[in-house]
Amino acid sequence: MILKYLLRKEFTQIRRNSFIPRLIIVFPIIIMCVTPWIMNMEVKNIVVDVVDNDRSTLSQQLVHEIEANKYFIFHGQQPTYAAALNNIEHSEADIIMVIPQHYNRDITLGRMPQVLIAANAVNGTKGSMGAAYLSQIVYTNASPSAAAIQSKVSTLYLYNKHLNFKLFMIPALFAIVMMLMTGFLPTLNIVSEKEAGTIEQINVTPISKWTFILAKLIPYWVIAFFIITVCLFIAWAVYGITPKGHIALIYLLAMLLALFFSSFGLIISNYSDTMQQAIFVMWFFVVILLLLSGLFTPTRSMPSLAYLTTYINPVSYFIEAMRTVFIRGGNFSNIIHQVFALFFISIFMGGWAVISYKKNN
């Protein structure tokens, strides 16, 4: 009965706040509708300058292949390498390709011509990937046998046939939305009552710490349920992407992550004296959890010491399990390791939230 009235109090506070209800509705919509278009790791629109020192039929054929390629923007032919390099220095080009003299003759005689590819590696990903794309075009064009071999090789892309980057990112975006909504809102909860002085009215009552913290957590689980429903609907309505696995597993993972972040937010709120302090502390941990989770880059690419942090990072478990269910169509047995890890970490944080709340200072 006491829990009922505490929950009514929490929901009333949320409803009377003019900003939070709008944030709960608008934020997941904005993230899901905008982020998949801009957080794209596929390298395109690479600006290429060509220096053709051969001016032969085959060299011009190579130039036309670059012009027709969807990954490149053909900036034009430059008279010298120095002129092309000047364009890179002024950020007008990304890659230079220098076709040597006797390019046509070398190919005719069965020799591999020495083509120079100079890439602007300030952006390492764009430089390396762009140079790799261009090298493949040059090698295929210069070696008829390579083109013949390539035509006989077929690649099967499992689970993501068309290499749709949105399919890779959308399950991970669930983690971002859940992290920010069910993490930052609880972080401001108790500390805001401290600043307003209303927490003293609760502290003088015989309400147990367990009941008080549970009443603080449950509203954010409801919010998490609403958010994940909105995200799934937008993924289907806007992108035509639906989960391959059972939708109940997605809700299970979302609720476990919400339990962790809402508990973590309350822990920070318990230890903080001001809302500004709570926000900065929460942001510090959120950035670390996000960057070490495998959201943007594979965790196996991390240094060994950094990789060890994934064993205690709930976001890493969530993203791995979510992609397994959402993209691969995995069942509960495929994610049982991640589910139990999330469960125990979340229960630990929930217990810490209760213990860290002090009714008497």
Residue 305 located in a structural domain: yes
**Residues forming beta bridges with residue 98, ordered by sequence position:** 51, 116
Statement to judge: residues 61 and 24 lie in one domain: no
Statement to judge: residues 29 and 119 lie in one domain: no
| Average predicted confidence (pLDDT) for the chain | 86
Q: Which residue among 98, 133, 152 closes a domain?
A: 152
How sure is the predictor about 193, in pLDDT bands with cuts at 50, 70 and 90? confident
Statement to judge: residues 140 and 281 lie in one domain: no
Residue 21 located in a structural domain: yes
Statement to judge: residues 92 and 187 lie in one domain: no
The per-residue pLDDT for 255 is 93
Q: Which residue among 109, 129, 152 closes a domain?
A: 152
The domain containing residue 188 runs over which residues?
2-8+15-39+163-356
> Which region among 11-25, 92-106, 134-148, 190-204 has the lowest average model confidence (pLDDT)?
134-148
**Tally of domains within the chain:** 2
CATH of the domain at 138: 3.40.1710.10
Statement to judge: residues 220 and 324 lie in one domain: yes
Q: Under 8 Å CB-to-CB from 285, ≥6 apart: which residues?
A: 264, 268
Residue 116: pLDDT over 70: yes
What predicted TM-score, i.e. pTM, was given to this entire model? 0.81
Angle (CA) 28 29 30, round 5°? 95
What is the rounded CA–CA span in Å between residue 282 and residue 187? 7
Q: Which residue among 102, 121, 152 closes a domain?
A: 152
Statement to judge: residues 134 and 101 lie in one domain: yes
SS (HEC) of the chain: CHHHHHHHHHHHHHHHCCCHHHHHHHHHHHHHHHHHHHCCCCCCCEEEEEEECCCCHHHHHHHHHHHHCCCEEEEEECCCHHHHHHHHHCCCCCEEEEECCCHHHHHHCCCCCCCEEEECCCCHHHHHHHHHHHHHHHHHHHCHHHHHHHHHCCCCCCCCCCCCHHHHHHHHHHHHHHHHHHHHHHHCHHHHHHHHCCHHHHHCCCCCHHHHHHHHHHHHHHHHHHHHHHHHHHHHHHHCCCCCCCHHHHHHHHHHHHHHHHHHHHHHHHHCCCHHHHHHHHHHHHHHHHHCCCCCCCHHHCCHHHHHHHHCCHHHHHHHHHHHHHCCCCCHHHHHHHHHHHHHHHHHHHHHHHHHCCCCC
Statement to judge: residues 205 and 326 lie in one domain: yes
How sure is the predictor about 343, in pLDDT bands with cuts at 50, 70 and 90? very high
Residue 116 located in a structural domain: yes
134-162, pLDDT tens digit by residue? 888 888 777 666 555 555 566 777 788 77
What type of residue sits at position 325?
A: V
How sure is the predictor about 14, in pLDDT bands with cuts at 50, 70 and 90? confident
Statement to judge: residues 117 and 182 lie in one domain: no
Residue 157 located in a structural domain: no
Residue 119 located in a structural domain: yes
Statement to judge: residues 206 and 339 lie in one domain: yes
Residue 125 located in a structural domain: yes
Residue 192 located in a structural domain: yes
Statement to judge: residues 297 and 176 lie in one domain: yes
Pairing type for strands 46-52 and 116-119 reads unpaired
Statement to judge: residues 283 and 320 lie in one domain: yes
Residue 173 located in a structural domain: yes
What is the rounded CA–CA span in Å between residue 175 and residue 291? 12
The per-residue pLDDT for 98 is 92
Mean pLDDT of 113-121: 88
More confidently predicted of 31 and 1: 31
Statement to judge: residues 21 and 88 lie in one domain: no
As to burial, measured by CB atoms within 10 angstroms (0-12 exposed, 13-18 middle, 19+ buried), residue 291 is middle
